[in-house]
């Protein structure tokens, strides 16, 4: 993220972050070697992947989990813990 | 808040977003994310120097709640001060939570923790125990288990065991302060969140200790974070129990424990631990497990 895009300002010379949770926009995709892929057919909506994601990269919607590949660091906990193999791993292309 | 019955009941909001600088598959970060689901947005977190200090790095913060970062010695007393400040302002519905590591809890910050506990301040103290000083390169603390390889207790020709000391029994120590204390594991999130819920409802000090699996320090593939947390409970290395008003109750009871070897094999820090070290570790685990079963539903400390 470039400095102009950041939302903070100085109050009496002390910089203050104005937006709570602004780290969600930081790109961590370069950290991972493999990425998780979601297959809807095998999913039983057990919410295990959503509960165990340490980086909140999986959001829960009515249709099931949605993976945010900006935050995902590729720890593969969701792939290992999924009881029905609805989460599989894929190598990053570049 | 009603007790949580299964994993599907866990609230669907995140007060800790992604994009922080902690390692991939970080156990303590997952623990904080889960804890905030029960604690809610009206929470002040007090953190002493440690791994979780890496979460808010200027100018980014993954947190949506208040966060006070303080020196490693005085997280508990800062929390007591925050509670007194809130009382002076007449604010009753805020949770004051300490999230500190095992170095800050067992060793450096123990004096302030003990003082806050004995005064029974309304504070929830969560210790994420990764069994070493993880942030500075995995040096030995008094929470490091027997036989673990750390930076200050390296395994070598003269010392094949690694860490030769036996870790401190912190729950017993906190139990004598007559406060609510419990252990928790990431592999049992419903049990962990119900313990936090119980602590939140209490008008006094509560101490919860979470096994914060550390993929970098313990030297394993981050995908096994939950598997290792589960094995720690099943092998008796990390039994789940609580002490309420000096009475012990076991939360997860097993007829037979799995051999500790299964837990040790997955981790690089126990690699090349000689067989007599494994036998000693197994006897320590069996001794602790027998003690817990003997005092189950009885006065413990």
From the list A22, A57, A60, the residue facing B61 with the nearest CB is A22
Output the pLDDT for position A14: 80
Cβ–Cβ under 8 Å, residues B123 and B94: no
Q: Is B262:B235 a contact under the CB 8 Å cutoff?
A: yes
Which phi-psi region, left, alpha or beta, contains residue B83 (left: φ > 0; alpha: ψ -120 to 50)? alpha
- Residues written for chain B: 301
Instruction: Name the residue facing B224 among A32, A50, A80 (closest C-beta).
Output: A80
Q: Return residues 39-58 of A near B (CB < 8 Å).
A: 46-48, 50-57
Domains of chain A in start order, with CATH, are 28-94 (3.30.70.20)
Element (H, E) at B280: helix B275-294
CB B238 within 8 A of CB B174: no
3-state secondary structure of B24: coil
Burial class (CB in 10 A: 0-12, 13-18, 19+), A91: exposed
Q: Show residues of chain A in contact with B26, CB under 8 Å.
A: 54
Q: Considering the domain boundaries, does residue B221 fall inside one? A: yes
Closest residue in B to A72 (Cα) is: B18
Which residue range(s) make up the domain with B243? 7-295
CB contact under 8 A, B63 and A6: no
**CA distances from residue B245 to A41, B121, B300 in whole angstroms, order as listed:** 50, 15, 9
Alpha carbon B146 to its chain centroid, in Å, reads: 18
The backbone torsions φ and ψ at residue B280, rounded to the nearest 5 degrees and listed phi first, read -65, -45
What is the model's pLDDT at position A39?
95
pLDDT for A94: 65
Confidence of residue A7 (pLDDT cuts 50, 70, 90): low
**Which helix or strand (DSSP H or E) is residue A14 part of?**
strand A14-17
Alpha-helical (H) ranges within chain B are 27-39, 75-89, 102, 110-118, 170-175, 189-201, 215-218, 225-234, 261-265, 275-294
pLDDT at position B32 is 96
- A17 pLDDT higher than 90: no
Give the Cα separation of B168 and B65 in Å (integer): 32
In a mutational test of the B interface, the residue from A24, A54, A92 whose CB has the highest number of chain B CBs within 10 Å is A54
CB nearest to B33's CB, from A54, A80, A81: A54
Tell me if B2 is assigned to some domain.
no
Backbone angles phi, psi at B233, to 5 degrees: -75, -45
CA distance B295 to B14: 38
Tell me if B91 is assigned to some domain. yes
Phi, psi of B148 (to 5 degrees): -85, 140
- For residues A74 and B19, what is the distance between their CA atoms, to the nearest angstrom? 12
Structure tokens at B282: 């197994």
**Which residues in chain B have their CB less than 8 angstroms from residue A76's CB?**
25, 221-223
Joined together, the tokens standing for residue B166 give 């036996």
Cβ-defined contact of A77 to B223 (cutoff 8 Å)? yes
Q: How many CB atoms lie within 10 A of CB A5?
A: 8
Q: Tell me: the pLDDT tens digits for B207-250?
A: 999 999 999 999 999 999 999 999 999 999 999 999 998 999 99
CATH number of the domain encompassing residue B179: 3.40.50.970
**CA gap B58, B4 in Å, rounded:** 35
A21 lies within 8 A of chain B by CB:
yes
Distance from CA of A77 to the nearest CA of B (A): 4
In a domain? residue B300: no
pLDDT beyond 60 at A1: no
- Kindly determine whether residue A71 and residue B17, on different chains, have CB atoms separated by under 8 Å: yes
Residues of chain B with pLDDT under 70: none
Q: Which residue from B30, B56, B59 is facing A52, i.e. has the nearest CB? A: B30
Chain A and chain B share a number of CB contacts under 8 A equal to 118
* Domains contained in chain B, number: 1
């Amino acid at each position: 993220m470039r400095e102009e895009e950041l939302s903070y300002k100085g109050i009496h010379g002390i910089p203050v972050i104005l937006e709570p949770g602004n780290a969600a926009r930081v790109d961590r995709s370069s950290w991972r070697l493999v990425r998780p892929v979601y297959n809807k057919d095998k999913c039983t909506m057990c919410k295990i992947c959503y509960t165990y994601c340490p980086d909140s990269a999986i959001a829960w919607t009515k249709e099931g989990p949605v993976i945010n590949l900006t935050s995902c660091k590729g720890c593969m906990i969701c792939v290992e813990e999924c009881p029905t193999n609805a989460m599989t791993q894929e190598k990053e292309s570049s | 808040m009603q007790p949580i019955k299964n994993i599907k009941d866990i609230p669907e909001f995140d007060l800790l977003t992604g994009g922080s600088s902690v390692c991939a598959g970080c156990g303590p970060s997952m623990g904080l994310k889960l804890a905030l689901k029960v604690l809610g947005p009206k929470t002040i977190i007090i953190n002493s120097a440690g791994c979780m200090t890496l979460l808010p790095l200027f100018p980014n913060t993954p947190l949506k709640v208040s966060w006070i970062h303080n020196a490693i010695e005085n997280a508990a007393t800062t929390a007591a001060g925050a509670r007194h400040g809130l009382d002076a302002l007449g604010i009753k519905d805020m949770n004051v939570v300490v999230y500190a590591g095992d170095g800050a809890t067992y060793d450096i910050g123990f004096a302030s923790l003990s003082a806050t506990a004995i005064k029974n301040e309304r504070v929830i103290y969560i210790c994420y125990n990764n069994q070493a000083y993880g942030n500075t390169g995995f040096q030995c603390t008094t929470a490091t288990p027997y036989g673990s390889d750390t930076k200050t207790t390296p395994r070598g020709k003269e010392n094949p065991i690694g860490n030769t000391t036996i870790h401190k029994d912190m729950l017993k120590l906190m139990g004598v302060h007559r406060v609510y204390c419990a252990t928790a594991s990431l592999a049992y999130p419903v049990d962990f969140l119900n313990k936090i819920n119980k602590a939140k409802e209490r008008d006094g000090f509560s101490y919860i200790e979470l096994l914060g699996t550390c993929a970098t320090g313990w030297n394993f593939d981050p995908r096994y974070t939950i598997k290792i947390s589960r094995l720690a409970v099943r092998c008796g290395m990390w039994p789940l129990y609580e002490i309420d008003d000096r009475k012990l109750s076991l939360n997860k009871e097993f007829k037979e424990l799995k051999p500790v070897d299964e837990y040790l094999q997955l981790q690089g820090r126990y690699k090349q631990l000689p067989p007599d070290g494994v036998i000693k570790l197994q006897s320590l685990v069996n001794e602790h497990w027998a003690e817990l079963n003997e005092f189950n539903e009885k006065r413990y400390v």
